[in-house]
Copies of this chain bind each other. A is one copy, B any other.
Amino acid sequence: MRVLIIGGGGFIGQKIARALAKRGSLRGAPITELALADLAEPAAVEAPFKVSLLTADIAERADVDAIFAMKPDVIFHLAAIVSGQAEAEFDLGMRINLLGSVNVFEAARGLGTNPVVVFSSSCAVYGGEIPREIEDWTGLNPQTSYGAQKAAAELLLTDYSRKGFIDGRGPRLPTVTIRPGKPNAAASSFMSSIFREPLQGETANCPVGKDYELWYTSPRMVVENLIRCAELDAAALGENRCFALPGRVGSIGEMIEAMRKVAGDEPVSRITFEPDQRIYDIVIGWRPHINAKKATDLGLIADSSFEDNVRYFLEDDIRR
């Protein structure tokens, strides 16, 4: 079992790599090789099998072919230009999120082995003129270039799978919070930083009101779900390979109170509330009320409370 993680330098890619190192097997077979690929060389991961660290620009087909030379059986395609950046740099988003994804699907098809491709899509595919409660068959109606590029790639993933070129699985990730590390160019960056920075003794600003509701998942849960997506039997997935992952709905205010329960008043006092119209205009188009029936039926899981998310961060990710 050879595994390739594209976007292997990102925090989810690194966490999947460490989880695979701990498991030692995937889809019932021992892992013999893991390759982590990213624009810059990914951090090394200790494992009981060979780990390669590769660089690639997935918009360049030759780069993609080079990282596929290890002939992976399972590919995690996590590489993306995130929402805020894809909105500001449209051409870059098209290059990586759409053309890059096509290159990955084409290279996987080129193996001729119908490999498993787990593609991380996003709740940013929803929005606009659709009903409040989102079902598995509700239309993708993205309100950002990031969402549009992800949604277009989803359609191709399902079609490549129907044709038997790849065995695709396209889970739509809820907002992942509390992310470790630093703020990034994602419009959702504040949805982690308003908890992470205060828990690490720093201030952070919340650019939206406390009544803003989001659909979220913890890093632990998303890593577990992405691995479960790789493990699923193709027969159980049905025709449409893309579906919302289970998540929880919470308002910023409720989540802040959950942090207070776990970590006391002091971190909460470090949050400021300065509105930011550019961020607001992007995230207000996202939609939190999602009935992830297909994913739940497939055995994928959600957090039980945001208090857990805070505890997971303190256990796994807080800056030491």
Chain A positions within 8 Å of B, measured between CB atoms, are 90, 94, 98, 102, 128-131, 136-145, 148-149, 151-153, 155-156, 158-159, 162-163, 238-240
Contact = CB atoms under 8 A, between A and B. Distances in A.
A163 B145 contact: yes
A145 B158 CA distance: 10
Given A130-B137, A139-B140, 4 more contacts: A129-B137, A138-B139, A142-B155, A143-B162
A128 to B, nearest CB: 5
Closest 3 CB pairs of A and B: A148-B159, A152-B152, A130-B137
A139 B137 contact: yes
A239 B128 contact: yes
13 contacts: A90-B163, A94-B102, A98-B156, A129-B136, A129-B238, A140-B155, A141-B239, A144-B159, A145-B159, A151-B155, A152-B153, A152-B155, A155-B155
Given A152-B155, A156-B152, A138 B140 contact: no
Contacts of A141: 137, 239-240
A131 to B, nearest CB: 6
A158 B148 CA distance: 8
A155 B159 contact: no
Given A145-B159, A148-B158, A163-B90, A131 B137 contact: yes
Contacts of A144: 159
A153 B238 CA distance: 24
A136 B156 CA distance: 21
Contacts of A98: 156
A162 B143 CA distance: 8
A154 to B, nearest CB: 9
A148 B155 contact: yes
A144 B98 CA distance: 19
A128 B294 CA distance: 14
A95 to B, nearest CB: 11
Contacts of A136: 129, 139
A257 to B, nearest CB: 34
Nearest to A93: B159
A139 B129 CA distance: 12
Contacts of A240: 128-129, 141
A140 B137 contact: no
A244 to B, nearest CB: 11
A92 to B, nearest CB: 14
Contacts of A138: 137-139
Contact of A140 (B90, B140, B156): B140
